[in-house]
Amino acid sequence: MPLASYALGMMDASVYAPEVFARGLPSTLQPSAVGVVPAGSIATAAAPLLSLQGIGLSFGGVVALADIDLSVNPGEIRAIIGPNGAGKSSLINVISGVYRADRGHVLLDGIRYGQVPTQRLAHLGVARTFQNLALFKGLSVLDNVASGLAYKVRSNFAGQVLGIGRSRGEQRDSLSRADQILEFLDLTTVRDRLAGTLPYGLQKRVELARALVAEPRLLLLDEPMAGMTAGEKSEMAGFVRAARDRFATTVVLIEHDVGVVMGLSDRIAVLDYGRKIADATPDEVRNDQRVIDAYLGVASDNEDGAGI
Amino acid sequence: MTAITSNFSAAPVLPKWMASVLLLAFAYGVVPLIGSSYLFEAILLPFLALGLAGVGLNILTGYAGQVSLGSAAFMAAGAFAAYNLNLRVEGLPLIGSIFLAGIVAAAIGIVFGLPSLRLKGFYLAVSTLAAQFFVQWALTKFSWFSNESASGVIDAPRLSIGGLALDGAVGRYLFALTIVSILTFLAYRLVSSQTGRNFIAIRDNETAARIIGIPVLKTKLLAFAISSFIIGVAGVIWAFAYLRTVEPAGFDLDRSFQILFIIIIGGLASIRGAFFGAALIVVFPLGLSRLGGFLLGDVFDSGVLDMSQRIVLGALIILFLILEPDGLVALWDRIRRRLLFAWQST
């Protein structure tokens, strides 16, 4: 059964592939437009690439997500923020099919899923990074990034061992594309190091490279800047923006650092206790009273400490 | 660290493949001329068979991260399959029956690899014990496998390729060396291919591997199949070239552990490591018995030898796990680097 479903996955991929390219092209025109036109008008101009409808998820009695709706337009950088335990990572896991939502469904490119098929995620043009590093420690940086193209490999192991058939071309193609991404993200100097030996900030960037090498239409970033210094954060933000502009990738990103998010995103959704309490442009979110109460905080009115 | 290694690459080191070519030239050209029959029978033949089995297990355990305690079962499957194919299929050349024996072992490997789709680590290791006990039981229980022989011990067929008899110690050594070299080369190509990278990806982070689209289930079963194929062929060499008898008792759990120790001591996820480990495992008991006999004389009989072997080997494994988790290969590389550095600075 696993083998059969895998085989089906391959077939589906070849069916979708032309479509992927056909839809990918017009969206290359959009990134420049996104910055200028207010977000609201894009929503009417293009169908959302991803939308969540009434997503609910609970672990035992703990409600992680309650009735979440979210739509992500092609080419935008969409941030999801919220305090710890607000359900941000759960949401990414639902989108990428790691969790199955109890209620609601995920619409990816117009196709409706109860649970997004994880094994086919790459074929659907979705890539993600993980909150805790999920690199392959025993592979070099180059091989880590090249493995982001493993889903495309059609040659079998015998062809690869003997170096015959399409395996040679595939190998050359994977490595050269991985090299291009390494150059793009300024990782060429660590190309041949084992991924596990790199400092934390660089490992985060290698993970971004591994996700980007497949040139996904939708990139899910789970706290890409967690634990970084301010300098590394702004560098990372620059890379995320550059990736969006160069590959016309739609980005959904979870982040704690509100300052970085405000500057980077086109629209921000705010979660609190599994509910979406706001969904608007950075400026609107910054002034939303509920967001301020839940997350951003205010200078205390009670400065003289009366009543304490 | 990078700075240091890049310094070394500037040194006049032979390219990687040159070292292998020189080693092979020595093994083919020089060893048969100078080696004694004791060297072939007691050291080189078991070394080659166990080294190849180590390469097979390393692909599964070292690269793909699936722990197996069933290696001896796959060796037995290979040995008995080759024996029966050779016996029952008219006109099948020896090489053909060895290849098909590998396929049989691979098929059994896939069956016993199915639990790996659900189980990990320790639990998987225990489930591979099922292979160990089942195969040994089946081979003992059904005497058809050993051609109705009363003792269950059967003589291996004579080795010959294309009419060329390879019966002597040197002939069997060359026979084993050729098969081991070819399979090792192919294994080396495999682990540096995309499939090999998929193995490591699944070992290091299965969830991430699945998300980026590596077919996890298929790749795990492939690792079991390839590993069992190689171990099966190693079993043929063990039975046909080294022992020249085929019996289930030689492929017991101790043998499985021996192969696991080989890759732990030699170095996980290293093709060379399997041979380093096998060399140590084969030479170490001989050295110990010589040393013991020399120091203690008659007190050091076979019982004491066996016991001291286990104690010293156990201690060695613990030491390696603590001091050099990457095995003899890492030790060797470090020593070589030091020597090169010393040589450069003079």
H or E element, residue B128:
helix B121-141
Helix ranges (H only) for chain A are 2-27, 30-36, 39-45, 88-95, 141-146, 157-162, 167-184, 200-212, 230-247, 258-264, 282-286, 289-291
What does the block give as tokens for B332? 């060797």
Q: At which residue do the structure tokens 């839809």 appear? A: A23
Q: What is the pLDDT of residue A15?
A: 34
Highest mean pLDDT among B165-174, B268-277, B298-307: B268-277
CB pair distance less than 8 Å for B194 and A123: no
Give chain B positions within 8 Å (CB) of A214.
212-213
Q: Average pLDDT for residues A189-206, to the nearest whole number?
A: 92
Average pLDDT over residues B219-245: 95
CATH number at residue B101: 1.10.3470
Of B204, B218, B222, which has the smallest distance from its Cβ to A138's Cβ? Answer: B204
Contacts B200 to A, Cβ<8 Å: 136, 138-139, 143
**B281: nearest Cα among B293, B268, B266, B294:** B266
Mean pLDDT, chain B, integer:
88
In terms of average pLDDT, the best of A38-47, B229-238, B289-298 is B229-238
The confidence score (pLDDT) of residue B17 equals 80
Distance CA B70, CA B251 (A): 10
User: Which chain B residues have a beta carbon less than 8 Å from that of A158?
Assistant: none
Per-residue pLDDT band at A47 (split at 50, 70, 90): confident
Asked if residue A247 belongs to a domain, the reply is yes
Q: Please give the residue that has the higher pLDDT: either B273 or B161.
A: B273
Q: Select from A138, A161, A210 the Cβ nearest to the Cβ of B186.
A: A161
For A118, which of B117, B210, B222 is closest by C-beta distance?
B210
- Subunit contact B204:A139, Cβ cutoff 8 A: yes
- The Cα–Cα gap between A288 and B343 comes to 70
Whether the pLDDT of residue A36 is over 70: the answer is no
Q: Taking CA atoms, what residue in B is nearest to A213?
A: B212
Q: Which of A9, A148, A174 sits opposite B212 (nearest CB)?
A: A148
DSSP B264-327: HHH-TT-HHHHHHHHHHHHHHHHHHHHHHHHHHGGG--HHHHHHHHHHHHHHHHHHHHHH-TTH
Q: What confidence score (pLDDT) does residue A307 get?
A: 54
Amino acid A73: pLDDT? 92
pLDDT band, very low/low/confident/very high, at A250 (cuts 50, 70, 90): very high
Average pLDDT over residues B229-244: 95
Using a CB-CB cut-off of 8 Å, the residues of chain A touching B186 are 161
In a domain, A302, yes or no: no
Question: With bands split at pLDDT 50, 70 and 90, how would you rate the model's confidence at B179?
Answer: very high
Q: Exposed/middle/buried for B107, CB within 10 Å: 0-12, 13-18, 19+? A: middle
Closest chain B CA to residue A194? B2
Per-residue pLDDT of B302-341, as tens digits, reads 788 888 888 888 888 888 888 888 889 999 989 989 998 8
Q: Which of B188, B212, B219 to mutate to test the interface with A (most CBs of A within 10 A)?
A: B212
Whether residue B177 is contained in a domain is answered as yes
A308 in a structural domain: no
**A241, two tokens:** 């923006």
Alpha helices in B26-120 (DSSP H): 31-34, 37-38, 45-57, 71-88, 94-113
How far is A135 from chain B, CA to nearest CA, in Å? 7
Average pLDDT over residues A56-81: 91
Question: Listing from the earlier edge strand, what are the strands of the sheet with A62-72?
Answer: A62-72, A50-59, A103-108, A111-113
Round to whole Å and give the CA distance between A284 and A281.
5
> Nearest residue of B to residue A192 by CA position?
B2
What pLDDT is recorded for position A296? 67
Q: Chain B residue with minimal CA distance to A135?
A: B205
Distance CA B319, CA B331 (A): 13
A151–B198 CB contact, under 8 Å: no
CA B119 to chain A, closest CA, distance in angstroms equals: 15
Measuring CA to CA, how many Å separate A176 from each of A142, A146, A190, B8?
10, 9, 16, 26
pLDDT band at B3 (very low <50, low <70, confident <90, very high): very low
Asked if the model's pLDDT at residue A302 lies above 80, the reply is no
Domain total in chain A: 1
Domain containing B216: what range? 39-345
Number of domains into which chain B is organized: 1
pLDDT (average), residues A46-59: 88
pLDDT exceeds 60 at position B85: yes
Cα dist from A59 to A52, A87, A102, B223, B314, whole Å = 19, 11, 10, 35, 46
Would you call B163 helix, strand, or coil by DSSP?
coil
Query: Which residues in chain B are closer than 8 Å to A193, comparing Cβ atoms?
Result: 2
* B201 in a structural domain: yes
Residues of chain B with a CB closer than 8 angstroms to some CB in chain A? 1-2, 117, 186, 189-190, 193-195, 197-198, 200-201, 203-205, 207-218, 221-222, 226, 269
Check residue A140 and report its DSSP letter.
Answer: B
Distance between CA atoms of residues B68 and B77, nearest Å: 15
pLDDT tier, B346 (very low <50, low <70, confident <90, very high otherwise): confident
Residue A202 maps to a domain: no
> Chain B contacts of A3, Cβ < 8 Å?
217-218, 221
CB contact under 8 A, B186 and A171: no
pLDDT of A1 > 60? The answer is no
Whether residue B167 is predicted with pLDDT greater than 90 in this model: the reply is no
CA A129 to chain centre: 6
Token reading at B48: 């080659």
Of B117, B211, B221, the CB nearest to A96: B211
* Across B80-90, average pLDDT: 92
With an 8 Å Cβ cutoff, are B208 and A136 in contact?
A: yes
Domain annotation covers residue A193: no
Tell me the residues of A at the B interface, defined by beta carbons under 8 Å apart: 2-3, 6, 9, 96, 98, 118-123, 127-128, 130, 134-139, 143, 146-148, 150-153, 155, 157, 160-163, 167, 170-171, 174, 190, 193, 197, 210-211, 214
What domain range is A255 assigned to? 2-125+216-296
Residue B2: half-sphere exposure toward Cβ, Cα within 13 Å: 10
Please indicate whether, in this complex, the C-beta atoms of B195 and A160 are within 8 angstroms of each other: yes
Sign of CA dihedral B205, B207, B209, B212: negative
Could you tell me the end-to-end alpha-carbon distance of chain B, in angstroms, rounded to an integer? 22
**pLDDT value at position A46?**
63
Tell me: the pLDDT tens digits for A152-197? 888 888 889 888 888 888 889 999 999 999 999 999 999 999 999 9
Give the confidence band of A288 by pLDDT, cuts at 50, 70, 90.
confident
Q: What sign for the dihedral angle of Cα B22, B23, B24, B30? A: positive
Tokens at A71, concatenated? 């739509």
**A182 assigned to some structural domain:** no
- Could you tell me which of B158, B180, B181 has the C-alpha nearest to residue B168? B158
Is the pLDDT at A29 greater than 80? The verdict is: no
Task: Report H helices in A46-166.
Answer: 88-95, 141-146, 157-162
Mutate to test the interface with A, among B211, B221, B271 (most CBs of A within 10 A): B211
A215 or A302, greater pLDDT: A215
Residue A51 domain flag: yes
Q: Average pLDDT of chain A?
A: 81
| Angle value at C-alpha A30, between A24 and A33, nearest 5 degrees | 180
**Given pLDDT bands bounded at 50, 70 and 90, which one contains residue A278?**
confident
Q: Is residue B10 part of a domain?
A: no
Instruction: Give the CATH number of the domain where residue A266 resides.
Output: 3.40.50.300
The pLDDT of residue A3: 40
**Residues of chain A with pLDDT > 70: what percent?**
81
**ipTM value > 0.90:** no
Asked whether the predicted pLDDT for residue B44 surpasses 70, the reply is yes
DSSP-assigned beta bridge partners for residue B104: none
Question: From A150, which residue of chain B is nearest by alpha-carbon distance?
Answer: B214
User: What is the percent of chain B where pLDDT is above 90?
Assistant: 55
Q: How far is B189 from chain A (nearest CA, A)?
A: 5
Question: What's the Cα-to-Cα distance from B263 to each of B55, B132, B254, B285, rounded to whole Å?
Answer: 8, 18, 15, 17
| Residue B151 lies inside a defined structural domain of this protein | yes
Q: A39 pLDDT exceeds 70?
A: no
Residue A6 pLDDT greater than 50, yes or no: no
Give pLDDT, residue A132: 86
- The answer to whether position A275 is within a domain reads yes
CA distances from B319 to B54, B311, B313, B315 (A): 20, 12, 10, 6
The residue of chain B nearest to residue A212, with distances taken between CA atoms, is B212
The whole-angstrom separation of Cα B11 and Cα A139 is 25
Report, as an integer, the average pLDDT of A122-143.
92
Rg over alpha carbons for chain B, rounded to the nearest Å, is 21
Which tokens in the block code for residue B305?
Answer: 């030898």
The mean per-residue pLDDT over the stretch B92-109 comes to: 95
DSSP code for A181: H
B302 in any annotated domain: yes
